[in-house]
Structure 1
Amino acid sequence: MPIQLPEGSAGRAIEARVMRISESIPFPAFRMSKGRLCAAEVVGTIQVAGVRINVLPKTDTSEEARDSDFLVNILHAAGYLCRAHTSSGTVRASVRDPLEIMISEAAAELNFVLRDGVPRRYREKHEDSRMLRGRIDFARLATRLPSDVAVLPVRHTPFAVQNDLTHCLLWLATTLARLTHNSFNRQLLVTLIGRLSVIWNGGHRLPTPAFTKLRLTPSEANFERAVSLAKLLSQGQYVDPTFAGNTSGFTMLFPLQHLFERAMQKILAETLDDSGISVKNRAQPLFLLRGNDDGDQVLRLKPDYLFYRENRLIAVADAKWKRLSEAARGYGARREDLYQVNAYLDTFSAENAVFLMPRAPWMPSQWIRSYTVTHSGRKIHLIGVDIEKLVSHRTDVKTAARDALRNAILAIV
């Protein structure tokens, strides 16, 4: 939808800056359509040139409060929030600002994981030492003069707080502290920065850690949520607004496809828990093509979900954030998606494939459309899921929506 900028603002300049910032984001965030700035399939916030743009998921009404609740609930269902709502003591409830709610949750999570102290890791260190520790670095020693024997170049692996994980947590706390306008959030984050800053002795600008290379050990599982949020922020190309430059601004954007897929993973597991159907999201990697000369495998096939009954695969499923149309042929399902799921059917030898798509206002509470693949007799099913109700914090609403989803899946498989 087109973005309405405040009256009196430099609209063209803001639009140009937003597009320039979004060029470095690894997923479609904004686009220009008929001379107007439009949001793509993302939700979140972007601030530039003194203007903050909140992009909320669109429900079937014009109620901004309902849209805000939906955003918070789907973030909760996707695992990025522990609570479906926050109290007025931590975030001003009257403002209903999704950014402040997210920052409040992240700050509370950081405070929780650091309750036992800063994480320690073994880290290889190269230094000159007057005593032998670890191993002598003979490559460096060979370049020394014979008279230079006062210290030895060594390599050792101390158990230290100066490591990539602590660096990641400090980067996250520093980033969030620069974003928040809430005094409670800022006070907590500044306290956390003080506890973590023992690892950083550089300048005032903290570099982005190598998030993609950071892997947690089983004993560090409690840091997974905080590290996931840091990775998400870094993928959104956070830019510090306190430093001058042509790209001044920041973003906290979430691809709706990512949130929908991740939320449905948890919802399906809980909804089908006692139905005799188990849901998995990982399988042995299978590929569509294999090279005749070198045997190189190409085009990995990876469905979002696999449905099993008694250890037998009965269906493959994909979650697609795609609004279907009542009037379109095949309800507007994309051709490339249908080709993809047909490849799943053949490769995984499954009889059923399921598309989970957000329910449109014209759909009844339990909407299913099924098609048969002409050459094989296998079936492809479209299911409209009421994601807003599935992630609702109201128990009665959520229960009714999950019962409808359960009945729709059982009717197919």
Structure 2
Amino acid sequence: MPAYTVREWDKLAYGDGQGQIPVQYADRFAALAACTAFAGRDGSGVLEPGRHALRARGVVGILAAGDASLEILPKIDVAPGETLDYQNAAIRKRLVHMLAVALDLRIDLGAVTDLAWQRETLLEILIRIFCDKLTMALRKGMPRRYVECEEDLPTLRGQFDTTRQFTRLAANPSRLACRFDQLSEDIALNRIMKAAVVHLLRVSRRSSNQQRLRELAFVYADIADVPASVVRWDEVVIDRTNQFWRELFTMVRLFLQGRYQTTTGGAGQGTAMLFEMNALFEEYVGRLIARALAGTRLNVSLQGGRLFCLNEQDSEQGLFQTKPDILIRRDGKIVHVIDTKWKRISSRINDPKQGVSQADVYQMMAYAQLYHAPRLTLLYPHHPSLGPEDLVHARYRITGHDTILETASIDVSNNSNMLMRLRRLLLLEEPDAVDLIE
């Protein structure tokens, strides 16, 4: 199966040589990408076909069409001087780590060999992790629940259904209409797990993954077949009796719904599993900040606030609602507003504005007006040209306000002491930073 890899915002030249992609495959991937939710009005929000090359945009993930796949990796600076395969392996590992944090999953990255990180695509790695977790869960037993059953039996079991007895069974008094509860494995959670196994068996191209998925499908042989498009997510109940399955349920949602798009058309146009890096970076940083400030007097809320920029004069109906990525409160009062941006900024030597867009500044000025926080931060991914470590790069005073707007960066390629680095970054301007620790 031909497999191609490109990083976001980079180009993949047309051709049959190494590091190139045949035009027929490029057209196939572009057509598939144009069907996804991230495509935009002109259909080029994921892939942009050019005269000489196929260009990736700010969406990462994998596209599988026919017998070929295209992997789009985030632009994370890792392992300078190493081989391309080694760098791509490191990026896949960082991306899986970001997904694990954003989705609250416990994933042992060391369980996947270095060779697998280099040779397998993101999708195959996630399938392998899913198979490991599902196999471990099934060893403890498949979850069961009491379900209501209605059967016509020769002897009474449970409750007698009078209505059914004297309508449907009026001519057959030898059978009794019974209604009873029965402990069953054929429940919504297991049906969804089976739907995921069947779906992944169709999209996986690695023989080892296919073999494991076939074995898992055999375990679920007695569970009803439900197409992935019509599974009943609302019927799944995760409680203390099946808490171990919460992470698997989250992974199944990742494969089948919500955070990515599965696109099929015609005679199997293909499958797309895509992530918008802006949204993933926001969720990843937000959850890490909540962990970093745990145990302090600072409270973190994600996508909070939701104040309106305008109110209609007559009806007072709000217009243009704001949703700051991260709000930090102290004693109930907002003291810090953080907005994450998956963009590359430049050092102040190269550009006094650091490449910060005017729209982003206007957005933060609106937050200053609405939330009255003394500190605002635009947080970007760090890269080597900004210096050796992540830090606050510049501070500005908003005209007419005492509010300080700062630009800062965090290195997502370096997982070492991440929480400590974030805490240092966030408590930098706190005059009583020591007193904030409870």
TM-score class, shorter-chain normalisation, is: 0.7 to 0.9
1:101 alignment partner, one of 88, 105, 125 = 125
Question: Is the 1:121–1:159 contact (alpha carbons within 8 Å) kept by the matching residues of 2?
Answer: yes
CA distance in 2, matches of 1:336, 1:167: 46
Question: Is the 2:306–2:324 contact (alpha carbons within 8 Å) kept by the matching residues of 1?
Answer: no
| Secondary structure, aligned partner of 2:262 | coil
User: 2:212 corresponds to which residue?
Assistant: 188
Q: What amino acid is the match of 1:32?
A: E
Structure 1 residues 109-150: Cα deviation after superposition (integer angstroms, max 9, x where no partner) = 22233343333456677x675679779798x999x7996787
- Cα shift at 1:94: 5.7
User: 2:64 corresponds to which residue?
Assistant: 47
Q: What amino acid is the match of 1:253?
A: L
Q: Are 1:373 and 2:398 matched, yes or no?
A: yes
| Secondary structure, aligned partner of 1:387 | coil
CA gap of 1:18–1:181, structure 2 versus 1, over 3 A, is closer
User: 1:172 corresponds to which residue?
Assistant: 196
User: 2:247 corresponds to which residue?
Assistant: 225
Q: TM-score, normalised by structure 2?
A: 0.74
Could you tell me which runs of 5 or more consecutive residues in structure 1 were left unpaired when the two chains were aligned. Answer: 392-397
CA distance in 1, matches of 2:365, 2:244: 39
Question: Is the 1:73–1:84 contact (alpha carbons within 8 Å) kept by the matching residues of 2?
Answer: no
RMSD of aligned residue pairs (Cα, Å): 3.9
Q: How does 1:86-125 map to 2 (within 5 A)?
A: 86-88=111-113, 92=116, 95=119, 97-121=121-145
CA distance in 1, matches of 2:147, 2:55: 46
| Secondary structure, aligned partner of 1:103 | helix
CA gap of 1:213–1:24, structure 2 versus 1, over 3 A, is farther
Q: Are 1:345 and 2:368 matched, yes or no?
A: yes
Q: What amino acid is the match of 1:222?
A: F
Q: TM-score, normalised by structure 1?
A: 0.78
| Secondary structure, aligned partner of 2:61 | strand
- Cα shift at 1:172: 1.7
Structure 1 residues 214-234: Cα deviation after superposition (integer angstroms, max 9, x where no partner) = 665443543332233222333
User: 1:395 corresponds to which residue?
Assistant: none
User: 1:394 corresponds to which residue?
Assistant: none
- Cα shift at 1:33: 5.0
Question: Is the 1:167–1:199 contact (alpha carbons within 8 Å) kept by the matching residues of 2?
Answer: yes
- Cα shift at 1:39: 1.5
CA distance in 2, matches of 1:318, 1:408: 14
User: 1:306 corresponds to which residue?
Assistant: 327
Structure 1, 26-35 or 51-60: larger mean CA deviation: 26-35
1:162 alignment partner, one of 176, 183, 186 = 186
CA distance in 2, matches of 1:23, 1:257: 19
Q: Are 1:2 and 2:11 matched, yes or no?
A: yes
User: 1:30 corresponds to which residue?
Assistant: 46
Question: Is the 1:318–1:356 contact (alpha carbons within 8 Å) kept by the matching residues of 2?
Answer: yes
Structure 1 residues 312-353: Cα deviation after superposition (integer angstroms, max 9, x where no partner) = 432121222112244456323233333333333333332222
CA gap of 1:291–1:121, structure 2 versus 1, over 3 A, is farther
CA distance in 1, matches of 2:231, 2:407: 40
* Count of residue correspondences: 395
User: 1:384 corresponds to which residue?
Assistant: 409
- Cα shift at 1:402: 5.1
Question: Is the 1:370–1:380 contact (alpha carbons within 8 Å) kept by the matching residues of 2?
Answer: yes
Could you tell me which runs of 5 or more consecutive residues in structure 2 were left unpaired when the two chains were aligned. Answer: 1-9, 40-44, 431-438
CA gap of 1:368–1:136, structure 2 versus 1, over 3 A, is farther
Question: Is the 1:76–1:83 contact (alpha carbons within 8 Å) kept by the matching residues of 2?
Answer: no
Q: What amino acid is the match of 2:218?
A: G
CA gap of 1:377–1:111, structure 2 versus 1, over 3 A, is same
Question: Is the 1:368–1:408 contact (alpha carbons within 8 Å) kept by the matching residues of 2?
Answer: no
CA gap of 1:289–1:163, structure 2 versus 1, over 3 A, is farther
CA gap of 1:99–1:291, structure 2 versus 1, over 3 A, is same
CA distance in 1, matches of 2:176, 2:375: 66
User: 1:208 corresponds to which residue?
Assistant: 229
- Cα shift at 1:239: 5.2
- Cα shift at 1:388: 0.8
CA gap of 1:313–1:56, structure 2 versus 1, over 3 A, is same
- Cα shift at 1:358: 0.7
- Cα shift at 1:154: 9.2
Structure 1 residues 159-217: Cα deviation after superposition (integer angstroms, max 9, x where no partner) = 64333322221122222333334444333322322223322257xxx343447646654
CA distance in 2, matches of 1:297, 1:120: 47
CA distance in 2, matches of 1:115, 1:256: 36
Q: What amino acid is the match of 1:386?
A: D
CA gap of 1:211–1:387, structure 2 versus 1, over 3 A, is farther
1:15 alignment partner, one of 5, 26, 30 = 26
Q: Are 1:357 and 2:380 matched, yes or no?
A: yes
CA distance in 2, matches of 1:337, 1:122: 53
CA distance in 2, matches of 1:33, 1:70: 24
CA gap of 1:12–1:147, structure 2 versus 1, over 3 A, is same
- Cα shift at 1:52: 2.1
Q: What amino acid is the match of 1:2?
A: K
- Cα shift at 1:295: 5.9
- Cα shift at 1:38: 1.7
